[in-house]
Amino acid sequence: MIRKINDIISVCIISIRRSIAATAEEFRTIVRNRNYAKKYPKLFAIFAVLEHEQSPQVFQLNHDDFLYIKEHILKDENINNHHILEALRAIFQNNIYKEGGNETKDKIVQYIFDEFSKMLATDYAYYMPLIKAIIRGFPFLLNHNNYEVLYKILRQKKPISLKLLKYILENESFEDLFLIKQDASFMLLSARDLNNKAAFMLLIRYLRKNNLFEVLFGNGNNFIKSKILNVEEFRRCGLDYSAIMLAYYEDKWFVDAKTKGDLEKFLQEIFSHHLGLQQRQKNRNYNEIEAFLVRVNRIGYENYFILKALENAAERFIDKKISTKKDVKNSIVKYVKTYKKFQPAASGVKVLSFFAISPLAPEDHWLMRFAPYLA
């Protein structure tokens, strides 16, 4: 009986604590919204009109908001309220916006874009809920002016900006983020040029989940030749960029002898004496590239040609590595057999008697190691 009473008391205490916490959070949200409205009154006038845009009484309910928009955004008190409402409806939750069609819309869009850009230039952790609300309401901001907003986020390299990038890339509301698929690969290239590894890994994950590697590695393989199989890029940016992209560069992409030769030459150069690497560093580089290859293979990508080229380079330039072609072949066979053990469990296996660990993609593994808040 005493135990039951104690259990009931414990449940009541937990319930009360949850109620207090929920009430406190609701209060904080109200206060925060008031602070938002105080700092961004023009933005909240727009939000207020959009909140009632389906109501027949929108012009009566938001009379003051329309006046505020006319005076402080449009700088024209003679504009009809109906025109303002239609302009807001046209840009609300729109993925694309082209300037020049309507002056009222252009002025509103320019104001929102400028205000949003200024917001991103600050230490915006406190305003993150507002930032998310803005891009949910006006997703065209993300690709407006040739993806200016995304480039701002890439250049910042701060945890808060990386969290925002993750939110954008993984939110279903922004499926049409890139106007053409090729733009995603250019954004990835920019992350590398800016040496923003965490953003690069997030973009790799985006490409994988959206089946866009063909866009990345297609087009005559110019991308991989210029940025992956480039020793100077390797020297400047480090191993991770090239290693993960080599891992995803599947056997099917090696369609000509020149591409194969370029790969073999690149791997030999990064392990040869040209870079002046010590044996310890060569071994570390080898192990990291192999780890990326293994993880990609476990999630279904085929990269045995690169593995073989890697082993051949190791045979020539790394001490105590594979020394014969027969050993290389045996290594590949062992590589395949070992990781077949990690295939998904059969449907007949009982969940309670077996725990199957899902293999991680290499970029997910990297993020868990170096940026767990993005994993």
Q: pLDDT per residue over 140-196, tens digit each?
A: 999 999 999 999 999 999 999 999 999 999 998 888 899 998 899 899 999 999 999
Domain membership flag for residue 30: no
DSSP 71-128: IIII--TTS-HHHHHHHHHHHTT-S---TTS-HHHHHHHHHHHHHHHHHHTS-GGGGH
3-class DSSP state of 249: coil
**What's the start-to-end Cα distance of the chain, in Å?**
47
Domain membership flag for residue 293: yes
Note the pLDDT of residue 276. 79
Q: Are residues 175 and 77 in the same domain?
A: yes
Residue 56: DSSP 8-state:
T
Residue 235: DSSP 8-state:
H
- For 5, the token pair is 């009473």
Q: Are residues 174 and 262 in the same domain?
A: no
- Residues 300 and 269: their CA atoms lie apart, in Å, by 29
pLDDT in tens, the chain (375 residues): 555 444 444 545 444 444 445 555 555 565 567 888 899 999 999 999 998 999 999 999 999 999 999 999 999 999 999 999 999 999 998 999 988 878 999 999 999 999 999 999 988 898 998 999 899 999 999 999 999 999 999 999 999 999 999 999 999 888 889 999 889 989 999 999 999 999 999 999 999 999 999 888 876 556 666 778 888 888 888 889 999 999 998 988 887 788 888 889 899 888 887 777 888 888 888 999 999 999 999 999 999 999 999 999 998 888 755 434 444 445 545 545 444 444 444 444 444 344 446 789 999 999 999 999 998
Assess contact for 86 and 68: CB atoms under 8 A. Answer: no
Note the pLDDT of residue 340. 45
Residue corresponding to tokens 């006038």? 45
Assess contact for 247 and 303: CB atoms under 8 A. Answer: yes
Assess contact for 152 and 113: CB atoms under 8 A. Answer: no
Among the listed residues 21, 44, 23, the one whose alpha carbon sits nearest the alpha carbon of residue 127: 44
- Among candidate residues 164, 179, 194, the one where a domain is terminated: 179
What amino acid is encoded at 77 in this protein?
Answer: E
Assess contact for 279 and 265: CB atoms under 8 A. Answer: no
Q: Are residues 218 and 306 in the same domain?
A: yes
Note the pLDDT of residue 183. 93
- Residues 113 and 282: their CA atoms lie apart, in Å, by 48
H or E segment and range at residue 22: helix 2-39
Q: Are residues 325 and 186 in the same domain?
A: yes
- Residues 263 and 259: their CA atoms lie apart, in Å, by 6
Q: Are residues 238 and 372 in the same domain?
A: yes
Q: Are residues 240 and 146 in the same domain?
A: no
- Among candidate residues 160, 179, 198, the one where a domain is terminated: 179
Assess contact for 49 and 58: CB atoms under 8 A. Answer: yes
Assess contact for 224 and 245: CB atoms under 8 A. Answer: yes
Domain membership flag for residue 16: no
Assess contact for 140 and 106: CB atoms under 8 A. Answer: no
Q: Are residues 189 and 166 in the same domain?
A: no
Domain membership flag for residue 89: yes
Assess contact for 178 and 184: CB atoms under 8 A. Answer: yes
Domain membership flag for residue 23: no
- For 218, the token pair is 């297609």
Q: Are residues 315 and 190 in the same domain?
A: yes
H or E segment and range at residue 323: none
Assess contact for 361 and 344: CB atoms under 8 A. Answer: no
Among the listed residues 280, 260, 267, 209, the one whose alpha carbon sits nearest the alpha carbon of residue 234: 267
3-class DSSP state of 211: coil
Note the pLDDT of residue 237. 85
Q: Are residues 70 and 204 in the same domain?
A: no
- Among candidate residues 179, 206, 237, the one where a domain is terminated: 179
Among the listed residues 122, 153, 156, the one whose alpha carbon sits nearest the alpha carbon of residue 135: 153
Torsion of CA 359, 362, 367, 368, to 10 degrees: 30
Domain membership flag for residue 141: yes
Note the pLDDT of residue 224. 67
Among the listed residues 131, 92, 126, the one whose alpha carbon sits nearest the alpha carbon of residue 115: 131
Q: Are residues 188 and 165 in the same domain?
A: no
Domain membership flag for residue 191: yes
DSSP 136-161: HH-GGGGTHHHHHHHHHHHHH--HHH
Task: Please name the residues in contact with 156: beta carbons below 8 A apart, sequence gap of 6 or more.
Answer: 120
Assess contact for 89 and 105: CB atoms under 8 A. Answer: no
Domain that holds residue 173: 40-179
Domain membership flag for residue 2: no
Q: Are residues 228 and 355 in the same domain?
A: yes
- Residues 80 and 30: their CA atoms lie apart, in Å, by 32
Q: Are residues 206 and 127 in the same domain?
A: no
- Residues 185 and 248: their CA atoms lie apart, in Å, by 14
Domain count, the chain: 2
